[in-house]
Amino acid sequence: MSDSPSIGQELTAELLDERLEGYRVLREVGRGAMGIVFEARQRGLERRVAVKVLPPQLSLRDRTVKRFLREAEAMGRLAHANIVDVYEVGSLGGLHFFAMRFIDGPPLDVVLKAGVLGIGDVIQVGLDVAGAMAHAHSRGVLHRDVKPSNLLRDGERVVLTDFGLAKPTDSDDEGAMTESGDLVGTPLYMSPEQILGDSGGIDGRSDVWALGVTLYELLIGRPPFSGTSAQSILHSILHKDPPLLRRQRADVPRDLEAVILKCLEKDPARRYSGAAGLQADLLAIQGGQSVSARPPRLADPLIRWSRRHPWQTAGLLVGLLGFAIFGKQLSTSRRDLKQTERDKSLAEGQREEARQDKGLALARAELLDATNEWSDARRHAHDPQAYARLRLHAFERVANLMFVMPFDQNPELAAEIMQVYARFSRESDSGDQALANFDLENGNSKSPMTLAMRAAMLEGLDRLEEALSVHQMRSRLYPRSPESWLDGAKVLYRLALRDRASGDDPTARRRLARAVELCDQALTRAVRALNTNQAATVLIERARCLIELDQRGLAEAALLQALANDSARVHARALLQACRQEAEAPETLESVPAKVADPAEPAAADATVAAAEGDGGSPAGGPGSPGGQGARAERGKNAGKPLLPLDSLPLMGRVGDPLDLDRADLAQAGKNLTSIYRGLRDVLRTAAGAAPEPAEGGASGSDSGVQADPVQQ
């Protein structure tokens, strides 16, 4: 099979015939919300099959692909004469499909257009479908979308198809398949518990309800509940009783009416406990025997009493009406009050989130302006005072950010601020002093924030080897946190570019291969924490390293995986476009020497990383990687596998929750940065020829000569 169709390309029988190996696709026979069905011939066996394909545009959503594959899985569990057989399930190059037995007969909704069915035919349809449902329920599968269009004539029998909304009863992943507010099913045939979203109460009795609605429609020609909109239909199902069958069709047997009305009981406890009970009653009707279903008779005593006491009945009705009105008003008031409270809480949360986003945006803008101001100072090199004044102002702006920036909310931005702070110090010939002050203030602290800030300072001072050592220490002390592994990979990437610029390509490739391994470690931990945003960041960094190693097939797979979990990554899209446009390079990682064990590296990597890469691509350059394959071969191998979502990789549940950052350490780190800033500001003022400013309010010690910053005020 060649490359899968593009997102905007129309999937036709001709196009699918070219790309689907093993089948000769003849024509399109149906189209639905969850796929397109084609008639085909299986090559070799010359078996007539129906191939259901998920359109490429629907493959972008992970939950849609899961739901499609779950349909094939559900049908594959079943083997019954009244259920369509599944022959093969496949996913090639992002195109998901499965082949099943071809049914040449029409669906029952088409048959209904010619008129209602006879009593015997309706009973036989009920027997066929109830038997299929009983088999499915015994195998742990709920259909959840039984309706005439999903029942096909196959000679003298009826078969059940389209398990697109089926749910295995032994699965707990319903939250991954639906979003908040989704209604699972077709409104006209949905049971009350499906409408109310009671996922815990949905079982085989919901399928019994849908079959009861279907049998009612086959007898009368229209479903028992109707409305001008989906909202009114759902309201009718929840609050209205179905019209009696015998009032609309006199030849309907009383027992059959009782059976169907029992299927349509709004309380699941009053319906058949399963499809087997319904099948038994239908067999009893067919054999002329009695059935277990009986129409409700609870109102008969009340009716007789009201006829004997008309005045008391009228008074009781007036009282009940008053109580009903009062109860409704009270319920409405409570509901309105709760809704108001929910709206208020939601608005407060949105305001707080917007405030934090605005603060981060302002911090980034301030950092950019300070960097530009520092660079603009070079144009005033002929004027020492102006040069010193501009640089001092830029330095103070970055230092002020360290006071107002909540480092624990955005560690990445905090590290960037520290890097710029250290770079300014290095270019002012005070970098060593800044690092010495930092170490003096923090002592031997090994908290995550302290180590991250020290590594950021070393990167800003262009001491990358030392920064890499700090990241290795972080990974040993806090092995479950992905940040240290990712930061180490970024430093190795910078070192590799430096080596390559100096002409040392073998060393550069070894560093890049090591960076890929660190990215794999970071990805493992991000997936364990179910942090798809961080995992996307790791995948993008992994792709950058693979591109430098000419492993463009693996890089493309990593970028596609990143976009599948966070489609807003503009950088990933740019890398993917560049990766696809550049020519495939023949060089492979075979020339990379075997990795030498690093004594500073933590013990052996998780075995689960290899399991994850079996689905998403092997690490480049590490032991066990697919050496001897060119970039084109890598892409070809990867094209035959679907990209699994992060939360389906076999990495979760191996360790506990990731370690949380210590708030006390964060507070201490902030105090240390404050002292460093004040000391360096005095150094820069002295270098610029300006005397330290007197302390305000009689401040002493390290605060002397430091004027309160405008941002702090």
Calculated CA dihedral for residues 13, 19, 20, 25, nearest 10 degrees: 20
Structure token pair of residue 527: 């997936």
Structure token pair of residue 428: 């002012």
Whether the pTM exceeds 0.75: the reply is no
Write down the domain spans for the chain.
13-101, 108-297, 375-446+665-713, 479-658
Cα(172)–Cα(51) distance, rounded to whole angstroms? Answer: 28
Q: Is 486 helix (H, G, I), strand (E, B) or coil?
A: helix
Residue of 355, 370, 124 whose CA lies nearest to 256:
124
Per-residue pLDDT at 297: 58
Per-residue pLDDT at 604: 32
Q: Is 29 helix (H, G, I), strand (E, B) or coil?
A: strand
Topology alike, domains 13-101 and 108-297: no
| Eight-state DSSP code of residue 296 | -
User: Cα–Cα–Cα angle for 510, 513, 514, nearest 5°?
Assistant: 85
CATH numeric code, 13-101: 3.30.200.20
Cα(652)–Cα(530) distance, rounded to whole angstroms? Answer: 8
Q: Is 623 helix (H, G, I), strand (E, B) or coil?
A: coil
219 neighbors 185 (Cβ within 8 angstroms) = no
Cα(160)–Cα(150) distance, rounded to whole angstroms? Answer: 6
Count how many Cα atoms sit within 13 Å of the Cα of residue 399 in the half-sphere of its side chain.
26
Q: Is 2 helix (H, G, I), strand (E, B) or coil?
A: coil
Residues contacting residue 293 through CB under 8 Å, at least 6 positions apart = 255, 258, 259, 261, 262, 281
Cα(642)–Cα(636) distance, rounded to whole angstroms? Answer: 12
CA 575 to each of CA 514, 516, 542, 572, 706: distance values in angstroms, whole numbers, following the listed order: 21, 16, 11, 5, 46
Mean pLDDT in consecutive groups of 10 residues from the start of the chain, 713 residues: 56 83 87 84 88 82 81 82 87 82 90 94 95 92 90 91 77 47 75 83 90 96 91 90 90 93 90 94 92 66 60 86 88 88 87 78 81 81 79 76 67 76 75 75 75 80 85 84 88 91 92 92 89 88 90 88 83 84 49 34 34 36 38 42 42 35 57 77 73 49 36 29
93 neighbors 3 (Cβ within 8 angstroms) = yes
Cα maximum dimension of the chain? 113
Domain spanning 108-297: CATH superfamily: Transferase(Phosphotransferase) domain 1 (1.10.510.10)
Residues contacting residue 35 through CB under 8 Å, at least 6 positions apart = 52, 53, 54, 55, 58, 68, 164
570 neighbors 538 (Cβ within 8 angstroms) = no
Cβ contacts of 249-254, under 8 Å, gap ≥ 24:
249/116, 249/219, 249/220, 251/119, 252/119, 252/219, 253/119, 253/285
465 neighbors 495 (Cβ within 8 angstroms) = yes
Cα(63)–Cα(334) distance, rounded to whole angstroms? Answer: 36
Residues contacting residue 176 through CB under 8 Å, at least 6 positions apart = 62, 63, 66, 647
Cα(350)–Cα(362) distance, rounded to whole angstroms? Answer: 18
String of DSSP letters for 431-442: HHHHHHHHHHHH
| Eight-state DSSP code of residue 430 | -
